[in-house]
Amino acid sequence: KTYNTRRVPFDITTTEKVEEIEYMNHEDRSPRWTMLCRDCDEYGHTREKTRSLSEGENDITIRATDRFGSSKEENIILFIDSKDPVILKTEPARGFADGNFYVEFREDNPKNLTLYYGNSIRSEELDLENDCYEDRGKHYCEINVNLSDYDGREIEYWFILEDVAGNKDESKHEELDVDYSPPIINSAEYHPDGRRVEI
């Protein structure tokens, strides 16, 4: 299971009262058993109780031990991503839009990145593996979309980035004129003076 906060609720119950309930996070630098309660049959069930876990993967073992020394263990894998994704830059930011868009962001666990554009808003999801590359903790992505329907008109565009824990960031909305058609030279003739070309 994935959480977007480091404070994770524990809800543990046993079929009978036990001497103690403990847990260990095998991803800690020095894993050790930590006491949750003594002479109990639940922890965090009747009243919410939380524990602070580490960013990334947490390999948790819960252990209940009865008065005869017999114990039962359960293992749980949790993933923590409490850091919000950040979109650092988008282009074009000025001038004209021709269908080529660029975005730069910082996020350790991106799930999806979507470009929204146009007036009757359209969207295009980027392929994080093929449209992006990572360097020194930053991701750089490019995408090309067909803007022929908007040629000569103004559009609005923005990106939304979501990570595996559901945290999102939305870029600034940019408004640009679309110049999709290439220029056309209708004619090119020499001027009568022989020194110029009229286009």
Please write the tens of the pLDDT for every residue from 85-125. 999 999 999 989 999 999 999 999 999 999 999 987 899 99
Decide if 80 contacts 3 (C-beta within 8 A): yes
For residue 81, the tally of other CB atoms under 10 A from its CB is: 22
What does the buried/exposed string (b/e) look like for 163-172 if buried means 16 or more CB atoms within 10 Å of the residue's CB? bebebebebe
Query: Residue 198 pLDDT > 80, yes or no?
Result: no
**Section 2-29 average pLDDT:** 95
Residue 121's pLDDT is 87
Q: Which parts of the chain are beta strand (E)? A: 2-3, 7-10, 12-25, 34-43, 49-52, 56-65, 71-80, 86-91, 96-97, 100-106, 110-118, 122-125, 132-135, 138-144, 154-163, 168-170, 174-178, 189-190, 197-198
Residue appearing with tokens 């067909």: 146
Decide if 17 contacts 39 (C-beta within 8 A): yes
Reading the block at residue 59, the tokens are 């390999």
The closest of 162, 53, 160, 52 to 109, measured between CA atoms, is 162
Q: How confident is the model at residue 179 (pLDDT cuts 50, 70, 90)?
A: confident
More confident: 105 or 193: 105
Q: What is the DSSP letter of 173?
A: P
Percent of the chain at pLDDT exceeding 90: 86
- Determine the residue type at 156: E
- The per-residue pLDDT for range 146-177, each reduced to its tens digit, is 999 999 899 999 999 999 999 999 999 999 99
Residue 127's pLDDT is 96
Half-sphere exposure of 76 (CA within 13 A, CB side): 17
User: What is the C-alpha separation between 141 and 130, in angstroms, rounded?
Assistant: 9
Reading the block at residue 26, the tokens are 């095998």
- The per-residue pLDDT for range 26-35, each reduced to its tens digit, is 999 999 999 9
| Beta-carbon contacts of residue 141 (< 8 Å; ≥ 6 apart) | 102, 103, 104, 105, 113, 126, 128, 131, 132
Average pLDDT, the chain: 92
Q: State the pTM of this model.
A: 0.78
